């Protein structure tokens, strides 16, 4: 039984709804933000690379890429090694958007934490850091332990 009752996910989902609503004021939807994020994290990635990471079909990726380029968030440059390929890069406008999303999320979590005393906030932060570090270690290990746990628990149903 999950003692957290998935509260971390539920809180993150609510903050995400607020963030998406706020970003729409800048003309960017959630799916577009995900596309920009992949390009920011992988400068010089191809459209096919973005499709693979996000699980998009070719047409959806092409439309999203064209829209983001028209809005000034992405640029395409020819690949010097293969002139048929176009490499994608985030613009300064996309970098500013990243900071806007972080800022909105930070304010939302600050506001939520105001329901706690300073001591409770510090304890929550300490515990979340422990859980976060464990999740990052497991991610870097390829989710081997979590996959084993899932297989074990799946057999118990």
pLDDT number for residue 100: 83
Per-residue pLDDT, averaged over 23-51, amounts to 92
pLDDT number for residue 98: 79
Per-residue pLDDT, averaged over 46-61, amounts to 95
Does residue 102 carry a pLDDT above 90? no
Q: Which residue has the tokens 């809180």?
A: 11
Does residue 7 carry a pLDDT above 90? yes
Count CB atoms within 10 A of the CB of residue 54. 15
Q: Tokens representing 148? A: 């084993």
pLDDT tier, 23 (very low <50, low <70, confident <90, very high otherwise)? confident
Q: What is the mean pLDDT of the chain?
A: 93
Name residues whose C-beta falls within 8 Å of residue 57's C-beta, 6 or more positions apart in sequence: 51
- % of residues, the chain, pLDDT over 70: 98
Check residues 140 and 83 and name the one with the higher pLDDT: 140
Does residue 26 carry a pLDDT above 90? no
Three-state SS at 74: strand
């Amino acid at each position: 039984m999950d003692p957290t009752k998935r509260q971390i996910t539920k809180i993150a989902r609510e903050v995400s709804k607020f963030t998406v609503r706020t970003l729409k004021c800048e003309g960017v939807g959630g799916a577009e933000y995900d596309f920009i994020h992949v390009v920011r994290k992988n400068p010089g990635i191809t459209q096919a690379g973005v499709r693979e990471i996000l699980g998009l079909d070719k047409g959806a990726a092409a439309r999203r890429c064209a829209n983001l380029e028209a809005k000034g968030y992405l640029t395409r440059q020819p690949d010097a090694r293969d002139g048929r390929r176009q490499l994608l890069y985030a613009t300064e406008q996309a970098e500013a958007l990243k900071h806007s999303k972080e800022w909105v999320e930070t304010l939302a979590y600050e506001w939520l934490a105001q329901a706690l005393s300073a001591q409770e906030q510090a304890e929550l932060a300490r515990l979340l850091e422990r859980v976060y570090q464990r999740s990052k270690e497991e991610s870097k290990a390829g989710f081997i332990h979590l996959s084993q746990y899932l297989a074990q628990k799946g057999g118990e149903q």
